[in-house]
Structure 1
């Protein structure tokens, strides 16, 4: 035995290396799972290694600043800088190709809007509430969002607890609302921010023991959580419209089971369609029943494809004066969770096409003034938001942009539970890197700096509020001999003017008559100002 140990101890390092390579080569030659390894022993492993780190190589080394999708490096850099309250400018002019098709041009005015000394934006350059009120004149508890940019539907389960809590605390500081997503109202949604309660076909959080919608649970949820300001019924989403899903029992912890009202350890099905209603008439009656029971505005969210049901919905809403108070149009390019590529790439229209189709239908039926339109689909940048407002939106919701504000690096592994930044994973180890206080502050800064830049663009175009943008204020580069055309020519309609009496009027009636900055939030903002952390 001693001789064997002595012999092994005398083997040089290169001998051990050669032995390991021989073992690997023999394994590669005789295994039958991977053709490349069998044909090219040892060397084939380098191919798989390079493939595994390919996304990182392209993201940080190979791709240029404007090349990546869904968000390029310049876009991500602007979000990160805004969220950190750092310099989000760029130097030496634009590196964009102004002559590419679908390039957006915003027409500035010869004389910009002049902000008077007593104007609310002189004191607060971030003050930008929605110009419309959800459920105005129709519901017991109408709601005017205090911010035109808010957090879109992302549930606890798809995002981590720390990410959800960071977003909600940031929404509280920035006076934005936080859409719960369809995973139910978790404790992490109850950190001060306004909440829009969202549910889909699984009715998580408001379901009975048989998986059916429970009005009693909905009423109790609203009664016990006054921060819930509106309710949104999901008909479909941009990532996978018309497709259900399965929540594996292995992923259902005691906490998730309690929040979603589902059994522990059993697979839970979210079917493609709703069981609580049938057809357009059923949808209208369902919306009215929830609104009557809770007193809150009720809206719907959908990705857009066929238009016949939308035509029927608008026709019946006009005839009965019933139906949704707000409509969230989700772009087919969206999606923070997992989806089959066939759905993500091909099912449902991109936002600009889907929204324009639905808006024109509602305009024909004179429903635009009473309906609050919300856009969702890569609109979390001031120029894109300006275009969206020109087309008719009243608010925008952001999902992936908000994820980046709390640390997402676009690793695109949301579906694997291996998110390296801890944002889209339930791994406790990966979540521990999220500093909730810091990420909440970054969410707050992203929203505030976004609103400030959107306001500056609005003023540059001669307007006081983005709701005043028209289809003539934004132009598309169409390519070929069409050159550049305004949105009105490209999409064949003009938006309905929004009733607007000035930003000062929004200050007076914001948040159902309350103050713009709640007392507790005002103290937080003042502390940050004292530390020179807020650019007032």
Structure 2
């Protein structure tokens, strides 16, 4: 024993290294480690921290996706009320295809120099004006669908408290209405094929539960039926039983510890007439505006929906178009990368369908898909969007670092996880203020650009106000020519 304890430290180090080398050679799981013992571990280490190395060291300010460093920095600075200006000109390649140019007026709109523009800008339209309880959103920028369960309780609480501070609505996502959605903000109750929170024992839609939910929660101002989402349109999902806690089971109306399937399609309807009937039934019994959310691919059913709405006067009060770029929801790469149209093509295609049938003033159009930056928001508004929903940008304002591990339950910022240790690092009281700050700065810059272009309200933008670079020698073209339509003039609602 004395001999062993008297050995120098380097002998122990050599023994450990030899042990690792022998283990590496004898194991058969990893070829690289077997063929290059000890050294092979460095390869896996570098692979594991590769995203972080690229994010902070290798990629330039404008290179990384989904959000580059400059975009993330703007959100972070805005949320912390830090300096988010830049000097010495743009570092963008302003000649690249798809680059947008917002055209200012020679004479900007005269405004009161003492007026603050960091407050909510109300929607130009009233949702469901013919419904029993019509709703005019207080803000043109709101929180997109992200459910409790996919986000932590602390994250949902921070967003809802921040929404209440700023004055925007909060979309519940399809996980049901949780206690963390009840800090005072207006709420859009959103559900999908799983009917969480409004389902019966067999997983089918329960109208009585919907009516009771709305009656018990007057903060619910609108209802959204999800047909599909940009991350994985046409694909269902499974919520593992290990994630179904007692609280989640009560909120979603499922059984504790039992895996829950969200089918790819709805059981309550299977065609356009049945969808319209479903929407009208919910609206009749709740009195609220009811809309639909979908990613976009084939247009035949959109055409059918528009024709039916034109002929009958029935149908959704609002339509949310989700971009195929994906979002906070986890999805197979094939779906996230290739299934459904990117937002700009998706929205323009659907808008033109409803424009042909004279329905654009009747419907409130909502855009969702990387629109939480001032310039992208302005572009969307000029194309016919009335309201913008933000998801990932909202998460960045409360601390998301784009680690892209939302699907692993290992979110380092405590946002997309139910790990209590990680979640404990997110302080809702602090982060709610940061979200509200982000919304104030986003709205302020949208309004300042609006006034620079000679308008009073962002809904007044049209497609000739934005040019898009066509690449090569095609120079630039107005959005009107690039996408083949002109947005209809919006009639401002009266208070």
User: Aligned-residue CA RMSD in angstroms?
Assistant: 1.0
State the SS of the aligned residue for 2:83: coil
Which one of 276, 280, 291 corresponds to residue 284 of structure 1? 276
Give the TM-score normalised by the residue count of structure 2. Answer: 0.99
Matched, 1:29 2:21: no
Matches within 5 A, 1:221-370: 221-370=213-362
Deviations 1:402-424 (A, max 9, x none): 00111101000000000000000
Closer, same or farther: CA 453–124 of 1 in aligned 2, 3 Å: closer
- What residue number does 2:72 align with? 76
Deviation string, structure 1 residues 171-210 (Cα, Å, up to 9, x no partner): 0011000000000000000011110000000000000011
Partner of 1:170: 162
Q: Does 1:126 align with 2:119?
A: yes
Indicate the SS of the match to 1:46: helix
Task: Work out which of the residue numbers 173, 178, 182 in structure 1 matches 2:174.
Answer: 182
| 1:70-149 to 2 correspondences below 5 Å | 70-116=66-112, 122=115, 125-136=118-129, 138-149=130-141
Gap change, CA 1:436 and 1:81, over 3 Å in 2? same
CA deviations over 1:436-463 (Å, ceiling 9, x no partner): 1110001111111110110000000000
How far apart, CA to CA, are the structure 2 residues paired with 1:70 and 1:200? 25
Report if the CA contact (8 A) 1:470-1:494 is conserved.
yes
- Among candidates 181, 192, 215, match of residue 200 of structure 1: 192
1:156 matches 2:152? no
Report the Cα offset of residue 250 of structure 1: 1.0
Question: Does the 8 Å CA contact 1:334/1:378 hold for their aligned counterparts?
Answer: no
Write out aligned runs for 1:305-454 (5 A).
305-454=297-446
Structure 1, unaligned runs of 5 or more: 510-536
SS at match of 2:238: strand
Equivalent position SS for 2:470: strand
Report Cα offsets for 1:100-125 as digits up to 9, x if no partner: 000000000000011158xxx92554
For residue 52 of structure 2, the aligned residue among 28, 46, 56 is 56
Helix, strand or coil at the partner of 1:292: helix
Distance 2:107 2:346 in 1: 34
Q: How much has 1:97 moved relative to structure 2? A: 0.4
Aligned equivalent of 2:3: 7
Q: Measure how far apart 1:500 and its partner are.
A: 2.5
Correspondent of 2:62 among 60, 66, 70 = 66
SS of residue matched to 1:266: coil
- Structure 1 residues 438, 141: CA separation in 2 closer, same or farther (over 3 Å shift)? same
CA distance in 2, matches of 1:386, 1:339: 29
TM-score (norm 1): 0.91
Matches of 1:379 and 1:337 in 2, distance apart? 17
1:334 offset after TM fit, Å?
2.4
Residue 452 of structure 2, aligned match among 438, 456, 460: 460
Is contact 2:237–2:262 with CA below 8 Å preserved after alignment? yes
- Tell me how far 1:362 sits from its aligned partner: 0.3
> How far apart are 1:85 and its partner, in Å?
1.4
Task: Describe the SS at the equivalent of 1:482.
Answer: coil
User: What's the counterpart of residue 517 of structure 1?
Assistant: none
Q: Does the 8 A contact of 1:298 with 1:326 survive in 2? A: yes
Unaligned runs of 5+ in 2: none
SS of 2:321's partner is: strand
1:262-310 CA deviation, whole Å, 9 max, x = no partner? 0111111100000011200000000000000000000000000000000
CA distance in 2, matches of 1:108, 1:468: 13
Q: Name the CA distance, whole Å, in 2 between partners of 1:65 and 1:482.
A: 27
Runs of 4+ that moved beyond 6 A: none
Contact 2:120–2:166, Cα closer than 8 Å, also in 1:
no
